[in-house]
């Protein structure tokens, strides 16, 4: 059953697609035979999840405040303890 499925799947690919994966059309029968012969004989474990790399920027929990992306030309925010609002930039009006 597996041999037939592999044969049909590979045969449905174009010559260019087969070439891209390093297979010629004459290899299909051998590959299907090898796949059927080795199926179920090799136990494979699920891959380990990739370890997360630490972020270059501290997370929200590290800084105690919200994370906001920094944009080019953005003005600095006022000190969180002050009552002053940060200056606002006027946006051009399109008509």
Q: In terms of pLDDT, which residue wins out, 75 or 31?
A: 31
What pTM value is reported for the model? 0.40
Give the phi and the psi of residue 51 in degrees, each rounded to 5.
-70, 140
> Is 19 or 70 the better-scoring residue by pLDDT?
19
Q: Are 8 and 1 in contact (CB under 8 A)?
A: no
**What confidence tens digit (pLDDT) does each residue in 6-50 have?**
999 999 999 999 999 999 999 999 999 998 888 765 445 566 776
Task: Compute the 3-state secondary structure of the chain and give helix, strand, coil in percent, each to the nearest 5.
Answer: 35, 0, 65
Retrieve residue 22's tokens.
Answer: 């390093």
Select from 7, 41, 9, 12 the least CA-distant residue to 27. Answer: 7
Mean pLDDT of the chain: 73
Find where tokens 């299907």 sit: 32
User: Domain-by-domain residue ranges, the chain?
Assistant: 2-38
What integer is the mean pLDDT of 62-80? 57
């Amino acid at each position: 059953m597996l041999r037939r499925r592999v044969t049909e799947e590979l045969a449905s690919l174009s010559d260019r697609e087969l070439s891209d994966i390093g297979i010629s059309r004459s290899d299909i029968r051998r590959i299907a035979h090898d796949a059927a012969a080795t199926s179920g004989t090799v136990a494979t474990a699920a891959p380990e999840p990739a370890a997360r790399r630490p972020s270059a920027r501290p997370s929200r929990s590290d800084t105690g405040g919200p994370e906001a992306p920094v944009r080019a030309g953005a003005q600095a925010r006022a000190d969180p303890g002050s009552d002053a609002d940060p200056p606002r930039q006027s946006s051009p009006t399109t008509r």
